[in-house]
């Protein structure tokens, strides 16, 4: 979204010149951004620890704009002294908020028999080789108290055979059994129903998911790709 409107945004912000004062700059920057991206896409504008620089959260993106509206920065804001990536922390908060807003009844869930110590939400594709490898280790994760919740992310897009298979899994009477069958290479009965597959795919794209598996913790930390269960457990603990 940002690249599409970068030129218009530069003109819009440049037009404000140095009129924006530090005090009230966030409101002025928000107004300017709303003119370009639409008010519904500007989620927040807040001051950063860097004097004169504002964090702007768009729909799925974090950028930075100077108080005077002249400069726009894309990239990570890093606190070297504290060794913190402030941008990634903010993205993590956004991912956590987006994931927590989803209804678990729309997922394929594998729960521990006992206490749930951690929850992992995984964007998955039944045909993805590394998704299958991760799925083979779900019992190990469950045994350690980790709940695994799958969201649909058919890599071939819509329409595609992969999308059809994913829909069949989500429409099965026993989603967990169908997911395990699909990831073992077995045939899954072709089914259709009202399903959340398209919405989950779009959510994943909005959160920056580019491949499967993509693993997200409760705090929004992301592991893009397969991670062995033992390593995941060490990271969670």
Catalytic site includes residue 125: yes
| Final residue in a domain of this structure, among 60, 77, 94 | 77
Q: What is the CATH number of the domain that holds 130?
A: 3.40.30.10
The CATH number of residue 61's host domain is 3.10.450
Q: Look up 4 and say whether it is catalytic.
A: no
CB atoms within 10 A of CB 3: 7
Please tell me the pTM assigned to this model: 0.84
For 161, the enclosing helix (H) or strand (E) is helix 161-171
Tell me if residue 171 is catalytic. no
| Domain match, 213 and 115 both | yes
Q: Which of these is catalytic: 131, 132, 149, 171?
A: 131
Banded model confidence at residue 34, pLDDT cuts 50, 70, 90: confident
For residues 72 and 110, membership in a common domain is answered with no
Q: Domain of 54?
A: 2-77
132 an active-site residue?
no
Q: From edge to edge, which strands make up the β-sheet containing 62-66?
A: 44-47, 53-57, 62-66, 72-73
Chain mean pLDDT for the chain: 90
In the chain, what percentage of residues exceed pLDDT 90? 77
Catalytic option among 91, 132, 149, 155: 155
In a domain, 96, yes or no: no
Query: Of the residues 67, 68, 91, 125, which is catalytic?
Result: 125
> Which one is catalytic: 67, 128, 132, 149?
128
Question: Quick check: is 58 in a domain?
Answer: yes
Neighbours of 154 (CB within 10 A): 26
Torsional sign, CA 159, 161, 163, 169: positive
Residue 164 shares a structural domain with residue 214: yes
Residue 23's pLDDT band, with cuts at 50, 70 and 90, is: low
Total domain count, the chain: 2
- pLDDT score at 8: 47
């Amino acid at each position: 979204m940002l690249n599409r409107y970068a030129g218009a945004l530069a003109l819009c912000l440049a037009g404000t010149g140095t009129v924006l004062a530090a005090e009230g700059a966030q409101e002025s920057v928000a107004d300017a951004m709303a003119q370009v991206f639409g008010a519904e896409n500007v989620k927040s504008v807040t001051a950063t620890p860097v004097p004169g620089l504002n964090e702007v959260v768009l729909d799925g993106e974090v950028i930075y704009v100077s108080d005077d509206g002249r400069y726009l920065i894309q990239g990570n804001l890093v606190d070297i002294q504290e060794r913190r990536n402030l941008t990634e922390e903010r993205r993590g908060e956004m991912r956590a908020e987006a994931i927590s807003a989803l209804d678990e009844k729309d997922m394929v869930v594998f729960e521990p028999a006992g206490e749930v110590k951690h929850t992992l939400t995984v964007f998955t594709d039944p045909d993805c080789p590394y998704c299958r490898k991760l799925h083979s280790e779900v019992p190990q994760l469950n045994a350690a108290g980790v709940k695994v919740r799958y969201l649909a992310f058919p890599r071939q897009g819509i329409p595609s055979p992969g999308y059809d298979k994913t829909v069949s899994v989500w429409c099965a009477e026993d989603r967990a059994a169908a997911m395990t069958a699909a990831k073992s290479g077995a045939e899954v009965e072709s089914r259709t129903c009202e399903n959340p597959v398209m919405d989950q795919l779009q959510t994943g794209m909005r959160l920056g998911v580019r491949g499967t598996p993509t693993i997200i913790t409760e705090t929004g930390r992301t592991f893009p790709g397969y991670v062995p269960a033992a390593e995941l457990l060490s990271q969670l603990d």
